[in-house]
Amino acid sequence: MATPPMLRAVGYFAHAYRRTWRASIMTTFVNPVLYLAAMGVGLGSFINKGGHTAALGHLSYLQFVAPALAATTAAMTAASESMFPVMGAIKWTRTYFGMLATPLRVGDVLAGHLLWIATRVATAVSAYLIVMAAFGTTPSIETLAVLPAGVLVGMAFAAPLAAFAASQDNEQAFPVVFRLGVIPLFLFSGVFFPVSQLPLALRVIAYATPLWHGVDLCRELTLGRLTAAGAAVHVSYLLVLAALGLFLAKRTFQARLRT
């Protein structure tokens, strides 16, 4: 049976990753330990002693922040893998054009790269889950569902950002996206404190962001208290955003790679 075309593209990215995987060890395996130790244990010891756990739903700060950091790991990994690498494959290494010199079509190239990004996200989230288990923050069997949830969060970021990257002539806008988009989401999407503590206007904005949906989904899964209604809202939101991003990416990739 012939290999599906998009898997041929995935095979290229996997082969290329064999030469660079050592550089990702820090972000994939060491950063989770450092974040949970510094934020969950270090900062958490002051919060827990201060009697502020009621605002966290009577959770320790480590229990509160750990699943949220799994969601942000998915988002950050997806954002990193879908901006500069996409620009590089178009402008610098011209990898996409090399693929298109074969029987692969633009849709195959796009699908293959997004599938590879999903694989990278799954690897990063899996590593985070292992670290969470080592820290004792996986009380529910439903925590295993954080893995597919994290991949969904990653795709909700990767597809729109890949569409954006393919529409740019250079990389100058990418740092702006991180500074004014990704980082504020990291800080104000309920990762480190409940969104309910924000002023009403900021709270409404936070509830409309994809990372808040991912954070709440992963947190409720880890605690074993996700309701069917909550799951439907979060999953539907993230699926719609990923589908919209895929639609836009098809258009921008076609426009950029057929010129």
- Whether residue 43 contacts residue 193, with contact meaning beta carbons closer than 8 Å, is answered with no
Structure pTM?
0.93
pLDDT in the model for residue 55: 63
Q: Which contacts qualify for 97-106: CB closer than 8 Å, 24 or more apart?
A: 97/257, 99/9, 99/12, 100/257, 102/8, 103/5, 104/5, 104/8, 104/9, 105/5, 106/250, 106/253, 106/254, 106/257, 106/258
48-52-57 Cα angle (round to 5): 100
Residue 1 has pLDDT above 60, yes or no: no
pLDDT digits over 44-99, tens only? 677 766 566 666 777 888 888 999 999 999 999 999 999 999 999 999 999 999 99
Average pLDDT over residues 12-41: 81
Q: Which residue has the higher pLDDT, 42 or 116?
A: 116
- Whether residue 131 contacts residue 32, with contact meaning beta carbons closer than 8 Å, is answered with yes
Rounded Cα distance between 143 and 134, Å, is: 13
pLDDT digits over 198-242, tens only? 899 999 999 999 999 999 999 999 999 999 999 999 999 999 999
Which of 37-46, 73-82, 165-174, 247-256 is least confident?
A: 37-46
Average pLDDT score, the chain: 90
Burial of 232 (0-12, 13-18, 19+ CB in 10 A): exposed
pLDDT in the model for residue 137: 86
